[in-house]
Amino acid sequence: MLAFQILIDGFAISALYALGAMGFTLIFGVSGVLNLSHGAIMVAAAVAAWAAASVLNTDSYTGALIGIFVALIMSFATYFVVVQPIQKSRRIPNEEKEIFVLTGTLLWGIMIQELIAYFFTNNAKTVLPIIEGVVNIMGVRTPQNEIFTAVVCCVVIGLLWLLVNRTRTGKVVLAASMNPRGVTLLGHELNNVYIVVWAIYGVLAGLAGVLLGMFLGVSSYSVGPLTASAFSIVVLGGLGSVSGSLIAAIVVGYLETLTAYLINPAYRTIPALLLLVVVMYIRPQGLLGRR
């Protein structure tokens, strides 16, 4: 009974974590950007979906779409307002661009967070589930929406895999992550590749945010922890490795669920962090990372 409960809840959490971290690692892999406004964009999507349903009275599908759309806009804004100007700036030496992008996106994330808090208060918001009802799986009462969440995450991750490995655009993105100069020599505009990646990122982060809003609920306080969890999953898996983050998401998701059910919900995040430190000491590039 408890074992099944852990199995089911852990899977849903893992799938959600994987979806959230996927876009994050994709951007790092292709353009070397660690986007610290990640959590803010996810929360913005969830809050937009919530606002659409409760203020504009749309149904939950439209609400979810609005949430994803908002995340897409935010993603482009992050790229064009913060990341691109820093990357193109001549006053910032190349070896310091990384820290400037980190600082810039961090500040940007705080700005988004504060605006959300200002307009929608700090209260936790739960997005209305798309599918209502509860089913009984092997003696465990599971909300149908939890199953829906897990399915959507898996399907989207599958689609992403197809997009990257089977389509022309995807192959260019993949090539750009391996050798940007080679891609430009083949006649592809690197800027367009980045725009595609940020678009994919926006949709993924938006979807993850909206689903998280249905599953656990979000508030402007979730911004930091969300960024941190995406960060640790991506590091655990290896920066820039999509399959690595997938494995790491499952490890972290189950570790957290196990701790919460078997030991104490308050210690939820600790084992994952300790694991992260151990991995950093033994294998700093992460499970599947490249040096």
Interface positions with other proteins (CB under 8 A) = 34, 82, 85-86, 89, 91-92, 95-96, 98-100, 102-104, 106-108, 110-111, 114-115, 117-118, 224, 228, 231-232, 235, 239, 266-267, 269-270, 273-274, 276-277, 280-281, 284-285
Q: Give the nearest distance from C-beta 264 to other proteins in angstroms.
A: 9
Q: Give the nearest distance from C-beta 154 to other proteins in angstroms.
A: 28
Residue 152 or 230: the one with the smaller Cβ distance to other proteins is 230
Residue 100 or 161: the one with the smaller Cβ distance to other proteins is 100
Question: What Cα–Cα distance (Å) separates residue 43 from each residue in 82, 105, 157, 163, 164?
Answer: 19, 15, 20, 26, 26
- Residues sharing a CB contact under 8 Å with residue 198, sequence separation 6 or more, in sequence order: 27, 75, 76, 78, 79
Residue pair 19/207 in contact (Cβ under 8 Å)? The answer is: yes
Q: Give the nearest distance from C-beta 178 to other proteins in angstroms.
A: 18
Q: Element (H or E) spanning 67, and its range? A: helix 60-77
Residue pair 242/22 in contact (Cβ under 8 Å)? The answer is: yes
Q: Give the nearest distance from C-beta 70 to other proteins in angstroms.
A: 18
Residue 34 or 157: the one with the smaller Cβ distance to other proteins is 34
Calpha distance 34→45 (Å, rounded): 19
Task: Locate 212 and state its tokens.
Answer: 């998280």
Q: Give the nearest distance from C-beta 95 to other proteins in angstroms.
A: 7
